[in-house]
Amino acid sequence: MTTLHTVNKSPFSSDTFDACLGLAKSGSTVLLFEDGVYAATSGTVSADAIANANGITFAVLGPDAMARGVEGKIADGIKIVDYDGFVDLVAEHDKVHAWL
């Protein structure tokens, strides 16, 4: 079973990102959107955690990163997708785990 995890909270103000990373299995995808995009910005503990998470694919919703002025700070190796890409990810996985 492949899972798409979605996280929409800042890793600094919520434990959602850490909880998701702790339970996400190899082969799954984590999509960061809304305030979740901050987790993917370089120079943060969360970006280091992403770099060390083997077997998990990470993506960021581009429009949310652009709105917040951080699209240029998204760490290497993290995919940036648009809304259509979000829909594709949902379709490609067996289920969606929307973390709150």
Nearest one of 93, 22, 90, 33 to 65, comparing CA atoms: 33
Nearest distance, CB of residue 2 and another protein, angstroms: 27
**Cβ pair 19, 26 in contact under 8 A:** no
Provide the binding-site residues for another protein, judged by CB under 8 A.
8-10, 12-13, 34-35, 38, 41-45, 47, 62-64, 66-70, 72-73, 82
* Between 6 and 28, CB nearer to another protein: 6
The position carrying tokens 């940036």 is 80
* Between 47 and 78, CB nearer to another protein: 47
| C-alpha triplet 25, 29, 35: angle, nearest 5° | 115
Nearest distance, CB of residue 71 and another protein, angstroms: 8
